[in-house]
Each structure stands twice: as C-alpha cells, then as structure tokens.
Structure 1
Amino acid sequence: MKNKKMLLIFTAIIFSLSCSNENGVKNNNIKNIKNLKTEQEYLKSIDYSNIADKVTQNKIHEILENAKVDSDNIDLFLKSVNYYNEATENKGLIKSGFLNSKNINPNYDEAAIQQIWDKKNKNFPGFNCRITAFTLMKDYIKMEKPVIKAGEMLFMDMESLKNVPFKLFSQNEKDKFVNLFSEIPTEMTKDVRVHAKNVKDAWKERGIVFDKNSKISMISVFFHFNDDPKENILFVGHVGILVPEKDGKLLFIEKLAFQQPYQALKFNNRTELNDYLMNKYDTAWGQPVAKPFIMENDELLKEYRINPNNKN
C-alpha cells in the first residue's frame, strides 16, 4: 500500500509537468538509440500560441477541418479551451496569435492559476493532456475488445470526466479512453526499444487499433515507473495531437496540465517536435528507469533522440 501511495504522489508530479512489423524490436521505427542521427541542430526556439483569441481559434479549426477531424469534436475541443481560458481569467496567456520564444519551455504561474480556478470549480479538476488529445483523436482509434479496469494512474482523469461541466464523452468513449491510457506492464530495463514493443503489444492485446489513413496522429510521451521493485509500468505522462498544415509545417496541440494552459506549436519537422518534448520531460538524473520515450500512434517516433542537455 505504501508503494501504491508513492506511485500516486509521483503521478501527481507528472501531471504538473502534466504497416507495422510484428517483431517489434526489429522494426525500422525502433532504432538503436545510440545510433540515431543527430545531424540536425537541436531546437533553439519555438512558435507557440495559447489559442486565446478568435482569429487563432478559427485558424486552428480550419487546420483540423482540413485534416478531416469531425466538426463536433473540434467544437468540443474549442469549448474546453474557452472554458479553461475564461475560468482562469486568461492568466499568463499569449493574448493573440503565435509568439516566437527562445525559451522552448514556457513558464506559467500554476499556483496563481490554481487559486483562480478553485474559486469557480470546486469539484472539477479540469482538462488535462489525455482528455484533450482524446477529444480530437477518438474517432481514429478503434477498440475491438472489452475494456480493462481503469488503472490507478488515471484516478484524476476519471474524477474530471465525472465532473466535467458539459458532456464530453459517451460511455463507450470513456471505456475506450480507459483502455488506451491505463498503465502498461513492462520490465526493468533502460532499453526504450523493449518498452516501445511492450506498449505496442499491450495495445494490440487490448484491441486498440489506430486508423492508418488518418491525417492526424497521437504523440505520446511514455514514462517508466518502478516505485515498487516488483512492478514496472509504463504510463502516458503527456500526450498531444500532431496535425499537418498545407504549407508543410506541423501543428502540435496540447494541454500542458490540469492547471496549465493549452498550447499550439508550429514545427518544421518531427525532430523539432521531439526536441521540444524531450527538453521538457527528459530531465531526471541518476534514475534506474528508462528515459522518457515518444510514440507516434503505436510506433516509436522515428526521429526520437534524447535531450542533449541530459546525457545521463
């Protein structure tokens, strides 16, 4: 029980931050991390928005619509964005458009945002990355087998879905959400190739199938937990949606954490996206567990590479 409580506490910390080859490890998408190409310069700046103004929201609506995302899901996403922005009085947000920043990990006053939020939302913890990503991605994920029981790591998500102020998901969609995001058993190794294969195998066992014809994709940052020596698990500590734009750029949409805002970021390629995410989440030192790793749908991101500022 003590280890379970430690696991839940560590989860809360994460919240605040927060054709396939059957052989898995031999898949070309799961490369030897030491041999990944690093010729491209590491990301130095980002273009990002908090989706706070009508012009930006209309533009993102158009991009999602061009990617064939259902208009009802887009409307639900933007309704959630506006609910959060209004409830937090636009605290710390970019008021309009996109901003170029040399700080690739923008800072927000989470404590101040929490105080404002709590005045208006006594029982609703808010929207997080998983709820946000699933809102846009749910039609492109099929569930062919019975739902598994919700894992302990989803306790805050389930509380939010229970108290959300407007209908967001049907019961079938909630079951799919649980099936997708509940923690995944793994083994004690730092080899992310092994963990990526375990994710792929677990989702296959759960009947999770990603639509190969979808223009959008789910970008998941997995964390390896080993708080109980007898139990190793993988969990989606952060997730967002990647959408192609007509000009060739990539739009990444995310909700940083319950009491951190929505962000939309523009990247030239997936290597830049990888660098942005690994800069934010590959920060631990001296840990016995594997580094965070990034999946695009059910494959290890081809452009995956570690944070050069953390070579531990």
Structure 2
Amino acid sequence: MKRNILTIALSSSLILSSLIFTGCSSNNTDELQNNNALINNTESLGNKKKIAKPIYKELKYSNLLDSGIQEEVKVILMKNGINKEDVERYFRGVNNYNKIYKDDLPNIAGFSVLEKSQVPYDGFAFQDKWIEKNKEYFDINCRISAFRLVNQFIESKDDFYESDGQLGMDIDTIEKNPDAAFNKNDINKFKKLFDIIEIDRFGTDEEIAKFISDQWDKRGISFVGNSDVTLISGFSKNEDTKELLAGHVGVAVKNDDEILFIEKYSPATPYQVTKFKNKEAVRSYMFDRLISTEGDAAMPGAIIMENNKLMK
C-alpha cells in the first residue's frame, strides 16, 4: 500500500494533521523519484481513459530563488491583470519559503531544463526541515497559493458557506500562516471553490466536468474576466466514497507564445514556475502529476479543469 499521508506529532500540546507531499493530496513524493523513465518508457491513463504518454519532452522550470526570475514573473503576472498587492503577497510567501530551503532546491537561478515528467523533490526531507524551523503551522499548499493569484477573477455570492470540515488542514494554515493573508470573504470563497464535491455516480469525463461546474454554480462560484489567467484544477476521484477533490491546483498564465504554469508543489515542497508551449502540455503535465497507483493497479484518472470547463 502506498504511503501517501504522514501524520506528525509535534508535541503533547500540538499535533498537526495530515501533510501531503505530491500536491495538495494524492500520491507519494518518494515515488516521483521513479518517474525518470516515465516520458520514454511508462505509459499512463489519459484524460479520455486511453493510454497516453506525457506530450512534453522536458521541463523548463524555476524555483524562483533569484531576483531576476522573480522580477520577470512579477511583470508577466501584472501585465496579465493580477493586481500588484496580490503579486507582492504571493512573493512574500515565496521568499519566506526560500529562506529556509535555499540550499536544498535543485534550481538555483534562472530556468533549469529537466528531461523528466516531474521534478523529483524529496518531500519527507523538506517536511522535516520545515518542522525544525516552524512547529506552529504548515506552509502554504497548492490550493492556497493558486487562490492568491486568481482570487480577483473568481466571484462568489455573499451567502455563508457551511463546510463539512474536509478542508481542515487548509483552513488551519490560512488562519495561522501569515503568508496566506486571507480575509473572511476570501475564506468563504475558498471553501466554496475547493470543498470536496460529492457525486452520485462517475460517468464520462465530460459528465463529471459538468457536474463539477454545476456544483460551483450552486455554491455561487463563477469565473470572470480574464482568459489569459486561468485556474487549473486536477480532480482526483474516490470511487469508494463518491467524492471529488481538487488534489492539485495551479495557475496558467499566457506569456506571448508560451504558458507559464505556476504552482506550489505541495505544503512542504517548493514553489515552481514551468514554461510550456501550450495548454495541451499543461493538461498533460497536470494529469501526469496526479497519476497514482496501488501496487500494479492504476487508480481512476484525474479530471483536469480549466476554470469551470474540462481541459482538453
């Protein structure tokens, strides 16, 4: 059985709940070390339930350590309409994380090129170092970091949303980690957007995507205003409990003839910006990101959404 959740007891008075390494949930970072041959050798389930290899040949990525890359990305974000205050808040989180891990990140400056389908971070080592430095709260995860950048492009009705507590780790981080910097309206919108979605049955990808979109409509969530900055959500399917969870989330930003995909890899692991040629490559990356297995059995393929539409 794959070990995909680690529960950490910090002291008799403080127990932090589940910390997940390969996104905001899903599979184990240790196993990403085995993905070296994925592009050339291993096939994976595609979004349409057919066998499909990642369509990209390499990753051109940055961990945003150097000021030059940070300024480049800041300019692109603000050029695409993300307000300066949210950009600066986002990079405060980046820099606070990088102060702890500057000697541990594989990318030191500029963009690195890697002939792998994912960057093989050692999530458990990163987690241990975080706990050494900070025993009060988790670091930002993928959902929280993405929300910071797209918040202004998502509208929510003012009604209070009652969550069932499935986002407990996220909300604990938002309330305790100053880099989140959410107000009450932000928290309410965040819950509506990312709370687990219950579904009666799993149909086709198109049917599931429409169900997700309809549930957002019922919660009062709508996506507005900017087709060049979009929320990319990878929904994992739990066929036993009939639940859908946004297991990994990032933001796609158009930059001339390329797409920047911006993500916090997981609570313990780094911020990452990756350059892709097109949205198809981003979708392929996200699906590969959410591949999980139990022994030799493939788990249900993820549903990749761009805002409230199935990403194709």
* Alignment: residue pair count: 275
Q: How far is 1:119 from its partner? A: 1.8
Q: In the alignment, what sits opposite 1:305?
A: none
In structure 2, the CA distance between the partners of 1:75 and 1:35, relative to structure 1 (3 Å rule), is same
2:205 corresponds to 1:192: yes
Q: How far is 1:216 from its partner? A: 0.4
Is the Cα contact below 8 Å between 1:46 and 1:265 reproduced in 2? yes
- Give the ranges of 4+ consecutive aligned residues of structure 1 lying more than 6 Å apart after TM superposition: 7-11
Residue 252 (structure 1) aligned to one of 245, 248, 261: 261
TM-score by length of 1: 0.81
Q: In the alignment, what sits opposite 1:56?
A: 69
Residue 149 (structure 1) aligned to one of 131, 138, 162: 162
Measure the CA separation in 2 of the matches of 1:42 and 1:8.
29
Is the Cα contact below 8 Å between 1:8 and 1:153 reproduced in 2? no
Is the Cα contact below 8 Å between 2:64 and 2:70 reproduced in 1? yes
Q: In the alignment, what sits opposite 2:44?
A: none
Q: Which has the higher strand share?
A: 2
SS in 2 for 1:152: coil
Q: Which runs of 5+ in 2 are unaligned?
A: 8-16, 24-46
2:201 corresponds to 1:205: no
Q: In the alignment, what sits opposite 1:140?
A: 153
Q: In the alignment, what sits opposite 2:48?
A: 33
Q: Which has the higher helix share?
A: 1
AA paired with 1:300?
Answer: L
2:80 corresponds to 1:67: yes
Q: How far is 1:180 from its partner? A: 0.6
Measure the CA separation in 2 of the matches of 1:117 and 1:259.
7
In structure 2, the CA distance between the partners of 1:172 and 1:145, relative to structure 1 (3 Å rule), is closer
Is the Cα contact below 8 Å between 1:189 and 1:290 reproduced in 2? no
Q: Which runs of 5+ in 1 are unaligned?
A: 1-6, 19-31, 303-312
Q: In the alignment, what sits opposite 1:263?
A: 272
SS in 2 for 1:180: helix
AA paired with 1:258?
Answer: P
Is the Cα contact below 8 Å between 2:140 and 2:179 reproduced in 1? no
Q: How far is 1:283 from its partner? A: 3.5
SS in 1 for 2:140: coil
Measure the CA separation in 1 of the matches of 2:306 and 2:129.
35
Measure the CA separation in 2 of the matches of 1:199 and 1:79.
32
Measure the CA separation in 1 of the matches of 2:132 and 2:292.
33
In structure 2, the CA distance between the partners of 1:151 and 1:90, relative to structure 1 (3 Å rule), is farther
In structure 2, the CA distance between the partners of 1:151 and 1:129, relative to structure 1 (3 Å rule), is farther
Is the Cα contact below 8 Å between 1:140 and 1:214 reproduced in 2? no
Q: How far is 1:276 from its partner? A: 1.4
Q: In the alignment, what sits opposite 1:23?
A: none
In structure 2, the CA distance between the partners of 1:88 and 1:150, relative to structure 1 (3 Å rule), is farther
TM-score by length of 2: 0.81
Render the CA deviation track for 1:152-176: whole Å, top value 9, x for unaligned. Answer: 3311101101111356111111111
Q: In the alignment, what sits opposite 1:46?
A: 59
Is the Cα contact below 8 Å between 2:144 and 2:180 reproduced in 1? no
In structure 2, the CA distance between the partners of 1:109 and 1:290, relative to structure 1 (3 Å rule), is closer
Q: In the alignment, what sits opposite 1:237?
A: 247
Q: How far is 1:16 from its partner? A: 1.6
Is the Cα contact below 8 Å between 1:51 and 1:264 reproduced in 2? yes
In structure 2, the CA distance between the partners of 1:145 and 1:199, relative to structure 1 (3 Å rule), is farther
Q: How far is 1:190 from its partner? A: 5.3
Is the Cα contact below 8 Å between 2:233 and 2:307 reproduced in 1? yes
Q: In the alignment, what sits opposite 1:175?
A: 188
Worse-matched range after superposition: 93-102 or 278-287: 278-287
Measure the CA separation in 2 of the matches of 1:41 and 1:295.
17
Residue 285 (structure 2) aligned to one of 276, 282, 289: 276
AA paired with 1:125?
Answer: F
Measure the CA separation in 2 of the matches of 1:164 and 1:193.
37
Percentage of matched positions with identical amino acids: 29
SS in 1 for 2:166: helix
Measure the CA separation in 2 of the matches of 1:99 and 1:153.
36
Measure the CA separation in 2 of the matches of 1:151 and 1:214.
32
Measure the CA separation in 2 of the matches of 1:41 and 1:166.
33
Is the Cα contact below 8 Å between 1:192 and 1:291 reproduced in 2? no
